[in-house]
Amino acid sequence: MKHARKLLAFFLVIALLLPYLSVQTASEGDFNPHLILSDGELQNQASMNREDIQAFLEQERSYLAYYRTTDASGTERIAADIIYRAAIKHRINPKYLLVKLQKEQSLITDPNPTQKQLDWATGYGVCDDCTTRDPDIQKHRGFGVQVDSAAAIMRWYYDNLDQEPWIKRAGRSYLIDGTNVQPLTLATAFLYTYTPHIHGNKNFWTLWQRWFDQVYPDGTLVKSKSGATVYLIRQGKKWPFATMAALATRFDPKLIVTTLETELGRYETAAPIKLPNYSIVKTNGIYYLLDNDTARPFANYEVVKKLGYNPDEIIEVASPDLEAYQSGAIIGEQTAAPLGRVVHVKENNSFYYVGETAYQPISDEKLINVNFPHLSVEKISAKELETWELSAPIQFKDGTLLGITGSPMIYVIENGKKRHIADEAVFTGLGYKWENIIWTDQFTGLNHPTTQPIYLRAAISAADVSTTTITAGIDNQNSGQTLSNEKMIRTAAADTKFVGRIFSTGINTYLVADQKTGEVIAGKNIDDARPLASFAKVLTAYQLQKEGINLSRSTTYNAEKHRALYHQFRAVAGERFLNRDLLDAALVSSLNTPLQMLVDSVEPDEKKFVARLNKQARDWGLNQTKFIDTTGERMETQSTAREYLTMYLKATNNVDVQKTLAKPAYAYNELRDLDGKPYHYDTHSNELLERADTLPWRISTSKTGFLEEAGAGLAMDIERKTDGKRFVIISMGNPDFTNRFAEPERLARWVIESF
């Protein structure tokens, strides 16, 4: 009776909500042979981590999920590790390798591949006119070699484009299978270089679309920007809600995300959801209780009356109205609570969901609000549970956004598993809202196995091959910069000077020092003054600590005072932030505005603070160092590599500066949120930290920097893994922004092997 009365009250509330909604449709794009993949996509090595790749293979029930073999170096590893390491080593998207494995040998879906399929996994080295028995190609044989080679050749194409005229290029026309193809991106051109057939590349595109284009998980509520119809994504289809009552009895309407009509057009439209959840319906003389996707028949009308359902609640429906529902268990005279019960056991202060034959632990009270908002909590004794069997813990329902305390990762739940949302760009691009994240404990999080991550469809455009201008002042962004930076200040070749052993590189300036003694052991142009760019933030952070900034206090964003020249910080006027979080944003993400806020909190007159930075530099004997701002966004803020070494070593002696520069990632909530987007998280702007376990050194601290005039820069304190020897490596004036971590990595490897 109690449950029936609560449902009646629930329906009365719903009846006051919005009535019927309209339906929107759209069309799906077709294969474009001129544009298969963007350069940003092909080179996005961080799109999946090792766990993401493993989860993908397990989700697809791939033979490779548990396949172990040797990698290109002869070390035995699982397939996911081999794929991940090859992607990171050659800076190629692991998604590319997964699609390649399927396209060439069906290794993702074939449950029992032959040794030949595994040995020639990506088709590398096998030409149209040769066989796999050809002795000249046996050096390419083996799963690990094949995966590594498939990634390596794509990187080789990028690196040798100007030296090898046979590599296909963007913007030129090629006759392929009788069709005139003009690749719009280098990535597309390279795909045709590797596989010179339209059909093969269309297969590649189709697989990429199926697996890695934007796919909303089951349980997502979505509507288009221009339409009113709300859909439930389920089983790869979109199910329109015919009434708000049908929606609101199943989900909280605040969870609706908004997307483009073209995204909705990718889903087949299923039958409309017309009836409110928990309705009692009657058709052909049989009564049913609608419980989400299930229609449970009552044994007879007497059971309906016994359970206390009001005849006025019963809805007459036609048989087709129930076609979308699965048939559930019969509700008989012994059924006391057909919707189950949520109980609180006083002896152990725990919550459980009690069904008809079993009870399930509820490890977090938030599960009650998310999964069972229609049920009241009953207090019972432990003895009352003895008649039921213990079953698996309750999981958050599909579509729930989940954060786990202590982790920067955000997930969405689908089929009881959690799918990783990589970053803020994916989160906001999918239309999710920060305030809808449910934060739970680690134990509850572990109750949800991890499956493949959720992706965001990349914006593919011909801009990938155009010469575009970099937005300076933020180091952690994806940019369309070309390989040559004409604005960068360079030392003339005749004036170039070296210290110690020479490392051949196009970087204008590098310095290698013994971290313990500060002795410079190798360098190039280390006494030439260059723009510091975001390197300057390290001394500013040190000075803030010196002046006693309290990182446990907060600062409020003022749009008039706190707007840097290069403003990339997501904040609205009046929002308040913990100072420690602002320091993370300034040093880890290399954002300018958070540092301005911190400076303002100790010195409202920035010029006075800058004067104190210059005094500190002079006190240390740094006569070629000059600050005119606190963030390095102006090219006149300058220093040399030798003098910056002094700044870096002294600044990182401060515990808070050192700890912050060491963080691979961070996550925090605004203390006062005014735009409904309180959650911030990011990874370090030094991309080498993402694959630290694959490098022969540990990164103790690091800082990136970039201005067009400065070029790209990277300062790192590294420790050789074999003997603990530490070095400080500073590179300044790297003209290749797109691949700005390649040369510093090569330099660091040289240092590790040479000193």
CB 267, CB 233: distance < 8 Å: yes
The per-residue DSSP string of 372-415 comes to -TT--EEEE-GGGGGGSEE-PPP-PPTT-EEEETT---EEEEET
CB 739, CB 714: distance < 8 Å: no
Q: Which residues of 558-596 are buried (b: 16+ CB within 10 A; e: fewer)?
A: eeeebebebbbbebeeebebbbbbbbbbbbbbbbbbbbb
pLDDT in tens, 94-141: 999 999 999 999 999 999 999 999 999 998 887 666 677 777 778 889
Rounded to two decimals, what is the model's pTM? 0.48
In the predicted model, what is the mean pLDDT of residues 432-438?
89
pLDDT in tens, 513-529: 999 999 999 999 999 99
How confident is the prediction for the chain on average, in pLDDT?
86
pLDDT value of residue 129: 61
Q: Percent of the chain at pLDDT above 90? A: 52
CB 154, CB 4: distance < 8 Å: no
Integer distance in angstroms from the first to the last C-alpha of the chain?
Answer: 80
Assess whether pLDDT exceeds 80 at residue 408: no
Phi, psi of 463 (to 5 degrees): -60, -15
Measured CA to CA in angstroms, residue 413 lies from 218, 386, 418 at distances of 8, 31, 5
Distance separating alpha carbons of residues 658 and 673, to the nearest angstrom:
29
Residue carrying the six token digits 């990698």: 71
Nearest CA among 482, 465, 469, 467 for reference residue 188: 465
In the predicted model, what is the mean pLDDT of residues 322-348?
88
Distance separating alpha carbons of residues 54 and 25, to the nearest angstrom:
35
pLDDT in tens, 107-117: 999 999 999 99
pLDDT value of residue 486: 67
In the predicted model, what is the mean pLDDT of residues 696-723?
94
Q: Which residues have C-beta within 8 Å of that of residue 98, sequence separation ≥ 6?
A: 53, 56, 83, 108, 211
Query: How would residue 613 be classed by pLDDT, with cut points 50, 70 and 90?
Result: very high
Q: Which helix (H) or strand (E) holds 58?
A: helix 50-59
In the predicted model, what is the mean pLDDT of residues 590-599?
93
pLDDT value of residue 456: 65
Nearest CA among 50, 316, 35 for reference residue 185: 35
pLDDT value of residue 352: 96
Query: How would residue 485 be classed by pLDDT, with cut points 50, 70 and 90?
Result: low
pLDDT value of residue 568: 75
Measured CA to CA in angstroms, residue 51 lies from 48, 522, 703 at distances of 8, 38, 27
Q: Which residues have C-beta within 8 Å of that of residue 497, sequence separation ≥ 6?
A: 524, 525, 526, 527
In the predicted model, what is the mean pLDDT of residues 398-419?
88
* Structure tokens belonging to residue 689: 């930290």
Range list of β-strands (E), 98-208: 174-176, 179-181
Distance separating alpha carbons of residues 462 and 38, to the nearest angstrom:
8
Please give the residue that has the higher pLDDT: either 41 or 590.
Answer: 590
pLDDT value of residue 102: 95
Query: How would residue 30 be classed by pLDDT, with cut points 50, 70 and 90?
Result: low
pLDDT value of residue 356: 83
pLDDT value of residue 324: 76
Assess whether pLDDT exceeds 80 at residue 374: yes
